[in-house]
Amino acid sequence: MKRVVVTGMGLRTPLGHDADQLFDRMLAGETGIRPQPAWAEVGELGASLGASVEDFDEQVIPRKYRRTMGRLAQMSVASALDAVAMSELPAEVVAGERTAVIAGSTVGSPHAEEVFWEHLLTRKSARGVRSTLFFHGMSHTISANVALMVGARGEVMATNSACASSTQAIGVAADRIRAGRAEIALAGGGEELHVASAIVFQSLGAVSSQASPDAAPRPFDRARDGIVVGEGAAMLVLEEREHALRRGAPILGEILGFGTTCDAEHMANPDPAGMMSAIRACLRDAGDVSTIDYVNAHATGTPAGDAAEAQAILELVGDGVPVSSSKGHLGHLLGGCGVVEAIVCLQAMRRGVAPPTRNLADPDVAPIRLLREPHEAPLHRCLSTSFAFGGVNAVLLLGDEPGARS
């Protein structure tokens, strides 16, 4: 079986636009969650917090390419460009038939959808609809625009499975490389902040009504009352290990295992058994795994979801492994959360410190080892979990590639 390593990463998040900045701010206990005053115009909406990406300069992308990109694709393409630059891959190698692009989001650009439907419903006319709106809003807007930007001519796929989207993208990309169908893959995903997301989660009884970032979200905490939606994007460069070694590439980590399953029980209610099935599938895929050093939990701050995940972690990983959630720092990036949290795991292994869970004061879940402060320790294997509506579960095991630790 071919091995798959990470040689580049790029991101745009509410806590910064590079992995070191993001991780430093998480260790410092900072948050990218902010009040969203414009949302007050929406009647009966209880949510007022969101996590937005600030100071994003879309002009890093040439204008001729930006025409087919909404904000979602722009953040993703900018992230992909950074990831390719970090990987030190020559442009002519990326622009080949052995490079795949696999990325996902919950939807395309919601702002593009809003513009389209506002035009149709107010004007009742097809005249004047911008031809580029479709490319902004299409479900595969990230993967198609990234491929166009870098010239990748291999497989292009979209893994649109809500909050599991970008975790599935990484796993599927790793599988394509293992199978010999690609040597290089750009994998990840993102989401664009829009009030529609808050409305949807409120309709499901899953959004926080708190008004302060110091009060929400509260992963694993007794006072948790729901998620805070956010935006962001990230992309990884994955390579077949021997391909990376031959060119002396900087290796940031390894994709050791991937598992994805479906609860097939309920569209919205979490199922610990389904979560455990995905973790078991991931560990089977990784082979003989003797230890896990850290779990970056999906933990969004919903009462049922966090409790179910803690139970699954306790039964399969145990009560001694450090666990934390990134959501208190970043909000819920929906389709983008998996890839950003994979980068958090890579940073944790590189730095030898696991980040804390922000806003955790009084845990009321199964007795797992939840981190409230940064935890310094050698970290060689990190588990990252993503669980989505529809009962879709996706889990990655990442390793600190040097030495191929057993």
pLDDT of residue 406: 39
| pLDDT under 70: residue ranges of the chain | 403-406
| Closest among 398, 306, 320 to 359, alpha carbons compared | 306
**DSSP conformation letters of 223-258:** T---B-BB-EEEEEEEEEHHHHHHTTPPP-EEEEEE
The model's pLDDT over 253-277, given as tens digits with 9 standing for 90+, comes to 999 999 999 999 999 999 999 999 9
* Residue in 17, 136, 140, 163 annotated catalytic: 163
* Residue in 111, 194, 298, 380 annotated catalytic: 298
Record the tokens describing residue 128, joined without a space: 């004047």
pLDDT of residue 301: 98
Give CA–CA dist 299/130, Å, rounded.
39
pLDDT of residue 405: 42
Residue 262 annotated among the catalytic residues of the structure: no
Q: At what angle do helices 71-87 and 141-150 cross, to 10 degrees?
A: 40
Place of tokens 């630059």: 85
Provide the pairing of β-strand 392-399 with 253-262.
antiparallel
Q: Are 49 and 90 in contact (CB under 8 A)?
A: no
Is the overall model pTM greater than 0.95, yes or no? yes
Place of tokens 């969650």: 33
Give CA–CA dist 355/106, Å, rounded.
26
Q: Furthest-apart CA pair in the chain: how many Å?
A: 64
Q: Are 213 and 223 in contact (CB under 8 A)?
A: no
Residue 163 annotated among the catalytic residues of the structure: yes
* Residue in 111, 332, 375, 380 annotated catalytic: 332
Record the tokens describing residue 298, joined without a space: 């999906």
| Closest among 170, 364, 160 to 254, alpha carbons compared | 170
Residue 345 annotated among the catalytic residues of the structure: no
pLDDT of residue 290: 79
